[in-house]
Amino acid sequence: MISHSDFFKAGAHFYTKHRSLVLFLCSGAIAFWIDFFTLWLLQTIGLNLWAARAIAFIVAATFTWIFNSRISFRGREARFKNLKGWGSYMGLAAIGGVLNYCASMAVLKSVTTVTPITLFLAIAAGSLAGLFANYFLNHFVFFKKA
């Protein structure tokens, strides 16, 4: 049986070795909720589903740009800074975003009534679809090693 001490040592070792991945996943988890609540709010006030989905993605991706620039990939130099950096980041995020958008809209178009539960499932499907593409693009393209 593994002791608590060994378990925490293993966790600390994993975090040290894969810090940017762990923090990127935290960023994505928070962005998931931002994406979901933004989409839900925009739908609630009557915005078209397609437009609401696009706006919610932009809001969530902007959050991840800030989080990943300051926390997940801290110590690395972003390829571009400020507004130019946001535009470049969003351009790369759009690659994963296409996967995200298509998966989420496929879920939403497969149901007859859009409810908070179907919105949640759609955002979850989209987030999973874009996760790997976005991590590798951030890790290898946007944030260069110091």
Query: What does 66-103 look like in DSSP terms, one character per residue?
Result: HHIIIIITTTSEESS-HHHHHHHHHHHHHHHHHHHHHH
Token pair in block for residue 91: 């351009």
Mean pLDDT of the region 137-141: 77
Token pair in block for residue 93: 């995020």
Mean pLDDT of the region 64-74: 83
Of 88 and 77, the one with more pLDDT: 88
Place of tokens 């801290």: 74
pLDDT-based confidence at 86, cuts 50/70/90? confident
pLDDT of residue 30: 96
Query: What are the beta bridge partners of residue 144?
Result: 77
Question: Which segment of 37-41, 42-46, 65-69, 107-111 scores lowest on mean pLDDT?
Answer: 65-69
**Residue pair 138/85 in contact by the 8 Å Cβ criterion:** no
Question: Which segment of 24-28, 56-60, 139-143 scores lowest on mean pLDDT?
Answer: 139-143
Question: What is the rounded CA–CA span in Å between residue 126 and residue 105?
Answer: 8
Mean pLDDT of the region 84-91: 81
For the chain, how big is the Rg over CA atoms in Å? 17
Residue 138, sorted as left (phi over 0), alpha (psi -120 to 50) or beta, turns out to be: alpha
